[in-house]
Structure 1
Amino acid sequence: MNPLVLSKLGLLIPVLMLQYFFNLCTIKVFEAFTGTESGALDD
């Protein structure tokens, strides 16, 4: 593979992991503030 592609993947993976954990934390905080469990947006 192209070394440039590998370097981009090396940067992309940690960023995606950070976004994933950030989303999890945001959901937890949202649930804590709304006082509901997951599925609050379901009818």
Structure 2
Amino acid sequence: MFAGNHSAIVSKDIFDQTQEQLKIRQQDAYAKNNNPRPFQAKYF
């Protein structure tokens, strides 16, 4: 995160909660598929 002269779009608390959820999801994906990036080879 960068300090700046503008107000934040989301609060620090929401940002931290989201980062924690993303970390948990990544760990779950790795444990389930033994692949930390399940969409790495997918093309849309």
TM-score by length of 1: 0.56
Structure with more contact order per residue of length (Cα contacts < 8 Å, sep ≥ 6): 2
Structure 1 stretches of 4+ with a deviation exceeding 3 A read: 38-43
1:27 counterpart residue number: 26
Q: TM-score, normalised by structure 2?
A: 0.55
What one-letter code is carried by the residue in structure 2 that aligns with 1:23?
Answer: L
Aligned residue-pair number = 34
Gaps of 5+ in 2: 1-6
Cα RMSD (Å): 2.3
**Per residue, is there more helix in 1 or in 2?**
1
